[in-house]
Structure 1
Amino acid sequence: MLDKLKINKKLIRELDFSAIIIVLAISLFGAMNIYSAVGISVFKSQIVWILFGMVLLYFILVFDYSLIQGYANIIYWSGVILLALNDTIFKSTVNGAGSWMKIGSVTIGQPSEFAKLGMIIMIAKKLDSMEGNINNLKNFLNLAMYAAIPMILIVIQPDMGMMMVCFFIVLGIFFAAGLELKVIGAGLASIITLIAIVWNSPLMHEYWKIRLISFLDPEADQLGAGAQLFQSQIGIGSGEILGKGFLKGTQVAGGFIPESHTDFIFAVVGEEWGLLGAVFLLTLYGILIYKFINIARTSKDIFGSMLSIGVVSIMLFSIYQNIGMTIGVAPISGITLPFMSYGGSSYITNIMAVGLVLNVGMRRKKINF
């Protein structure tokens, strides 16, 4: 039994250890900033999640990713069922979004985090079975259906931030699969039109409007809806080139930036580590994404390639959206910064995603045992 939980030495030689080191470096840097933002208790919890994540990463690497393809239906529909249960029975609302599942007095996480991974696996499997022929109308509608089901359930919660993540995951996969640009353009235009139509309808929740309005004109209400962004910009700007120093951030320490250990963790980076710290973090992300794109490009099959592209799409959009909302170039949403923000379900899902991509990478070549 234990032999089955060991990775063959020939496969280990194909594993990109530098990617794991980068993920660990970002995670520990994130934990330091979490400690600075909210103290030792939450820091300890994050360290536990990091350690658990590293163990989980190992187990994901043990099994050939092609086995996951065989369980795609179970993984996908399990995520959909969890979303449905979250929408109807176990919903817990935090900051306007009912995306948290709560059983009794225990909040157990966000099913949408795991559902988005199931969506990637399912779409990748379908594209593989279609031999990548996405421009066939029947194939496209089939893929669109599997994308739409979890996204509709996420909108019902409502959680517009996660819905945006899922939309850009699908957009990234479809683009990489070769979907005609006119179809992609029509899809983007449809989304903009849909937002305009529902703006004054009951479907448009008031807190969505407030966030969009505060993004377009944050100075209009600096003590209200625009306060979080305004304080974040002050903190990041005051960090200048070198930052104020670890544990010396006045905006963070003074509690002026809400959710500084989760959604607004980049504000801590900007204030305490300055431009150099921000560039350091973005460089690590850039190297990691480059490695993942290379794995997608050289995968031995369509499933592995699309799986990797889906994870790249998560990373790219989450990084842009999270950092963008702290500096005012994206609307505020509950999107966490991968491996930096505090949160168990978010961290574990990101580790699982990384594990899947590295699994694809280490099995690119035919190895004779």
Structure 2
Amino acid sequence: MLKKFKIDTKLLKEMDLTLLIVTILIVLFGIINIYAATRMMQGNFAKNQLIFLGVSLVIVYVSLHFDYSLLQNYVDIFYWGNILLLIATRFIGITVNGAQGWIKLPGGFQLQPAEFMKFAMILMLAKKMDQFDLKVNEFKNFIILAGYCILPMGIIVAQPDMGMTMVCFFIALGIFFCAGLDYKVIGGGLVSVFIGILILWQTNLIKPYQKLRILGFLNPEADDLNTNLQLTQSMIGIGSGGFLGTGISLGSEPSRSYVAVFVPEKQTDFIFAVLAEHWGTIGAVVLLILYGILIYRVIINARESKDIFGSIICAGFASYFIFAILQNIGMTIGLMPITGITLPLVSYGGSSLVTTFLAIALVLNISMRKKKIYF
């Protein structure tokens, strides 16, 4: 019976072991910082993240048994199922940080369907581009592909979750770019998005606090309402870390961590501020190097994939990592507006960690089966 759970050693030799090891190192580094951020709070955040890591590794192991190309048979079910789940949040969802995008689960856990939707959108685009033989510049094909992106983004923006909407948009943008979409179309799309934001600005979909964040980012000197307080506290904490960091105290004194005391959402959105305070510039650089290796390996697997389906999947995940990392770190140091985008593999959150590991599992699967079989 145990033989059923063994993976072919020939396939394992082809697996991108570097990608897997780097991913686990980033998560473990994140858990240490989650502990540092939450040790004075109620709730076992670090312990829960360890549980999520265990569940994620099991999912990775199980998923490696199956050829990723079989997913094409179930992509439609997964995509439309997630669309229904997004719609369901409008009726049974709970509001977290201003967005009604979460479903409460037994045991005190929460599910964010939008996390799985970005995963489903990548798979759908990969399947369709494979069917279209990467002919994305044909008008009919482009309209179909764009429709599969616009539908979930429209539902997510209505929650309203601007951060996740941005993630989905830049994932789609990265995929279209890698697929060879005409630059004029990409430019036109960016202009359309800018016009769309101006229109949304006049509606209730962009909440007052979100507008204040954007205005505060664009003109920090005129921050009369102190809407940049979170950013200010974050930068003070990061600055206090200096080059070597303050270190992590295992004691009970909260004063050892400025960020843990004064920065809201430090275990999720602002986990980088925790990391930079405790580990300093060296810790931040180490994390960026690990991220660089991860993204590089995903891109290499995209280039070596045996088919378009696998290449586009890898391209989608590379786009996600690049944007999410730049946005999250950028917002903690004032280079980007503050959004609810978490730092991949580092921030606390079960839905985010599991879906990110699903992405890594798929890339590993693609790396294992990159050689075409000839008869």
Q: Distance in 1 between matches of 2:170 and 2:256?
A: 34
- The residue aligned with 2:252 is none
- Please say if 1:287 is aligned against 2:289: no
- The residue aligned with 2:63 is 60
The Cα shift of 1:249 comes to: 4.7
The Cα shift of 1:203 comes to: 3.3
- The residue aligned with 2:192 is 190
- The residue aligned with 2:182 is 180
Unpaired stretches in structure 2, ≥5 consecutive residues: 250-254
Q: Distance in 2 between matches of 1:103 and 1:261?
A: 20
Structure 1 stretches of 4+ with a deviation exceeding 6 A read: none
The Cα shift of 1:7 comes to: 1.2
* 8 Å CA contact 2:160, 2:206 repeated in 1: no
* 8 Å CA contact 1:219, 1:226 repeated in 2: no
Q: 1:107 to 1:50 in 2, by over 3 A?
A: closer
- Aligned partner of 1:73 among 48, 73, 76: 76
Q: Which amino acid aligns with 1:19?
A: L
Q: Distance in 2 between matches of 1:3 and 1:149?
A: 43
- The residue aligned with 1:21 is 21
- Aligned partner of 1:363 among 359, 365, 369: 369
Q: Which amino acid aligns with 1:74?
A: I
The Cα shift of 1:219 comes to: 4.5
Q: Distance in 2 between matches of 1:108 and 1:236?
A: 30
Corresponding residue SS for 1:93 = strand
Q: Which amino acid aligns with 2:312?
A: M
Q: RMSD in angstroms over aligned alpha carbons?
A: 1.9
Q: Distance in 2 between matches of 1:315 and 1:77?
A: 24
Q: Distance in 1 between matches of 2:151 and 2:4?
A: 36
Q: Which amino acid aligns with 1:354?
A: I
Cα displacement string for residues 30-89 of structure 1 (whole angstroms, at most 9, x for unaligned residues)? 0000110002821111111111111111111111000111111011011101001012x1
Q: Distance in 2 between matches of 1:349 and 1:288?
A: 16
The Cα shift of 1:222 comes to: 7.7
Q: Distance in 2 between matches of 1:268 and 1:217?
A: 26
Q: Distance in 2 between matches of 1:157 and 1:164?
A: 13
Which runs of structure 2 are paired with 1:121-136 in the superposition (5 Å)? 121-136=123-138
Which runs of structure 2 are paired with 1:301-340 in the superposition (5 Å)? 301-340=307-346
Q: Distance in 2 between matches of 1:341 and 1:160?
A: 18
Q: Distance in 1 between matches of 2:163 and 2:196?
A: 16
Q: Distance in 2 between matches of 1:168 and 1:270?
A: 26
Q: Distance in 2 between matches of 1:279 and 1:301?
A: 35
> Among the aligned pairs, what percent are the same residue?
53
* 8 Å CA contact 1:124, 1:302 repeated in 2: yes
The Cα shift of 1:366 comes to: 3.4
Further displaced range: 276-285 or 37-46: 37-46
TM-score, structure 2 as length reference: 0.94
- The residue aligned with 1:237 is 239
Q: Which amino acid aligns with 2:29?
A: F
The Cα shift of 1:250 comes to: 3.0
Cα displacement string for residues 109-152 of structure 1 (whole angstroms, at most 9, x for unaligned residues)? 10000011011001100000000000000000000011111111
- Number of equivalenced pairs: 367
The Cα shift of 1:162 comes to: 0.1
The Cα shift of 1:217 comes to: 2.8
Further displaced range: 210-219 or 237-246: 210-219
- Aligned partner of 1:251 among 248, 251, 258: 258
- The residue aligned with 1:296 is 302
Unpaired stretches in structure 1, ≥5 consecutive residues: none
Q: Which amino acid aligns with 1:318?
A: A
Q: Distance in 1 between matches of 2:107 and 2:21?
A: 37
Corresponding residue SS for 1:263 = coil
- The residue aligned with 2:34 is 34
Q: Distance in 2 between matches of 1:290 and 1:30?
A: 20
- The residue aligned with 2:10 is 10
- Aligned partner of 2:95 among 80, 93, 96: 93
* 8 Å CA contact 2:153, 2:165 repeated in 1: yes
Q: Distance in 2 between matches of 1:107 and 1:90?
A: 15
The Cα shift of 1:276 comes to: 0.6
Corresponding residue SS for 1:225 = coil
- Aligned partner of 1:158 among 142, 157, 160: 160
Q: Distance in 2 between matches of 1:180 and 1:229?
A: 38
